[in-house]
Each structure stands twice: as structure tokens, then as C-alpha cells.
Chain A
């Protein structure tokens, strides 16, 4: 799962897709995950990082993660369909 290369992601949580002109605002947790996706981190790596940082177990995190990913896909923010 990889964020499209041209997606602009600001520290304030503002996301801009320059291909469609759409913009979104996300919270701190979403911003962190997008940051990891833009660094090409795998689900496993992201899960380790997020469960270490927040009080959440792996199955719960993955559930929210896949919800979030399906939303990103719907908004055409992801590069491709392959999980790394």
C-alpha cells in the first residue's frame, strides 16, 4: 500500500491531491499513518509502530487501519493495490 507520490501532506493534517484538486483534513493519527505510507512502510511495520505508541491491540488496530485504507482508496490517494 503506497500513497501516490504527488500527494501533498502537511504537518497540520492537510492533504492535497494535485491530480484531482481534492483536499482533505485528517487528525494526528491519520497523519502519522499517511506519513508511514509515504515512507513505503508495510502493514506489519506500521502495526508495530502504532501499537507501541498507542494503547491498542493488533487486531483492533488492523480493523481501523483497513477501514482507513479503504477510504484512502475511495479518494484515489493510493498508488496501487499491492500490499507490501
Chain B
């Protein structure tokens, strides 16, 4: 007997820079524990999952977090009044702050979440990575947040070129000289604001872990992956699960010491000397999470169970050598669907 549950989630942008919405929905739909009704929360009216068959049962447009946390949360509460939500799964870094801050308000209204605490969210920020590394005795590349263009000239005092120029939420570019840093700084700061993070470039192989912490120090699931094909946006277009005990040990150590609550993506660089550098800790499920589902760890389902207070046994293993390969697909839909969403804000 599967439990009926209504899940609202974001990240429906299944584009060349995909959000995690679609893979999270697929994991939940494949659950043997739940009979889900999926409410898609769309920021843009052409996010593919809105129109894809078998994904969302209903879509509501929501305002960007940049319009104000309260505006976003009030819209969620408004949706909840006419279409009750059991669990909300935010899938973007930029919106997490609003939902973490409003966790009590949402809970009071009857909407459950399973998010990191504000403290956990803050301390793993890219801009604070060196302090984070020091605090937890983890190897991280040297980095420095900058907020003004005139700081770029002094970067050569602290860094050797090439170096990485990163946005506080998304985007990362390799820069070989001051001029390129300036160009990337302007592009990133216009999109994501400041600080822009300058990070030491570590040459090696990019590997990632998708993980889920129960907030009590236990790792419920963890699957390491190596990107096999990377797009020009730096996104994995294909990947393969790895059997790397050091990556798993590192993940468990981080989740235990931070008492991490919720989904997490650990971005690591394995240097040529086989040292693991923590490049980023993303405070949410990544867009490649369906690989973990395919390898035997349904992390979206486990997160849902934790959100509603069910006991979840940690996953013991996963299949090594499982691959994912993304593809693009032309979906044909009617103007009426687009029109309805544009005019009414729901579909």
C-alpha cells in the first residue's frame, strides 16, 4: 500500500544547464513507498518539465527569490491554500535561503521540508571555503572573494595563473590573465552579484558525490561519480559511478562533522598526486541524481521519507560502473498550454 503524498518542487528547467527537478520527480515516481502527486513550481513559463509527459500533475508559476523571500514564500502559502502541499523540495541554491528562513512558517502551515540549517548553509559558501577547510581539517583550494574590479590587479600577489573565477551560486570560468578575470568578473557579477570568488586552479579529474544526511550525523546515501562528458557550461552530460572508498569516507566525514541535513553535492578535484580537493559543497540534490537512483540509491525517495519523519535505513551499496547519458529531445506542445500558464500562472 503506497502512501499518497503531494510534493511540490522547483528545478523544472531540464535544459543544457539542467535543474534537478526532473530527476527528483523520476526518483519519487519510481518509489514503492509513495503514490505521489507532483506540483511543479516554475520560475519561467518554458521550463521543459512543465510540458513533459508524466512529470508534473500541476504547475504553478512562482516569483524569483530576488523579488524577496517573503514574496516567494507567500506565493507558496497561497498555492498551499488551494492545493495542499505535504512536502516542498527546493532544488536551487538561490532559493534555499528563503525556504530555510521560512521553515517554521511552512511547517506551521503543514508544509514539510528537509533542508540544511542556515548555519550549515552559510559556512559551506564558496566565499568561505578556506575557513571551512580549516575548521573541519579538509583540503580545499585557496580562494578569495572579491567585490570590486580594482582588486583584480592585486590577485597575482596571492594566485598563480590560470585561476578560477566563480559566481557565488553558479558559473565558473578559467582565466589565464588579468584581462580574462575582468571579463568573467563583469559577466558573473551582472548575473549573480558580488562577491565573485577567485579560486586556485587545481589540475586533475573532476569527481562528484551525491549524498543525503539525516541531520544527526548519519549518511543515508552517497554515490560517487566521474563526469565523462562535460558541456561548455561545465555540466555533466554523461557520468559513471565509481568505487572510490576515499570519496565515500570524505563524504561521511563531512556529513558527520557538519551534522548535515538534506541533500548535498560534493564537488571534488582529484589531483595528479591523487589528493582530493573540495571545490564546492552544493546544499541540494544535483541534476545528475537519477544516476544514483539507477545505481540503487533512490535518494529523492529517502529525502521524502526523512521529510515526513519516517525512519530511513542508510543505503549499504550501489552498482559501480552505471552510466548516465543525457540527451536533448524536441517536445511538441500546443500554444494553449503555454497561454494558460502565461495568463493564469498555473497549468
Binding site for B on A (CB under 8 A): 6, 8, 16, 18-21
Tally of contact residues, B, Cβ under 8 A: 12
Report chain A residues within 8 Å CB of B240: 21
6 more CB-based (< 8 A) A-B contacts, given A20-B205, A21-B207, A21-B242: A18-B243, A18-B320, A19-B242, A19-B243, A20-B226, A21-B226
Report chain B residues within 8 Å CB of A6: 243, 320
Known pairs A19-B243, A20-B242, A21-B240; A8 contacts B321 (CB<8 A): yes
Is B244 among interface residues, defined by CB-CB distance under 8 A? yes
Interchain pairs with CB closer than 8 A, number: 23
Report chain B residues within 8 Å CB of A8: 321
For the complex, what is the distance from the CA of A20 to the CA of B226, rounded to whole Å?
7
For the complex formed, measure the closest distance between the CB of B310 and the CB atoms of chain A, giving whole angstroms.
Answer: 32
Q: What are 17 A-B contacts defined by CB distance under 8 Å?
A: A6-B243, A8-B321, A16-B321, A18-B242, A18-B243, A18-B320, A18-B321, A19-B242, A19-B243, A19-B244, A20-B205, A20-B244, A20-B270, A21-B226, A21-B228, A21-B240, A21-B242
Report chain B residues within 8 Å CB of A21: 207, 225-226, 228, 240, 242
For the complex, what is the distance from the CA of A16 to the CA of B228, rounded to whole Å?
13
Interface string of B219-253 (1 = CB under 8 A from A): 00000011010000000000010111000000000
For the complex formed, measure the closest distance between the CB of B51 and the CB atoms of chain A, giving whole angstroms.
Answer: 34
A6, A8, A18, A21 — most chain B CB neighbours (10 Å)? A21
For the complex, what is the distance from the CA of A6 to the CA of B320, rounded to whole Å?
10
For the complex, what is the distance from the CA of A21 to the CA of B323, rounded to whole Å?
10
For the complex, what is the distance from the CA of A19 to the CA of B270, rounded to whole Å?
11
Name the residue on A nearest B225 (C-beta).
Answer: A21
For the complex formed, measure the closest distance between the CB of B246 and the CB atoms of chain A, giving whole angstroms.
Answer: 9
Report chain B residues within 8 Å CB of A18: 242-244, 320-321
For the complex, what is the distance from the CA of A76 to the CA of B8, rounded to whole Å?
45
Name the residue on A nearest B205 (C-beta).
Answer: A20
For the complex, what is the distance from the CA of A31 to the CA of B72, rounded to whole Å?
59
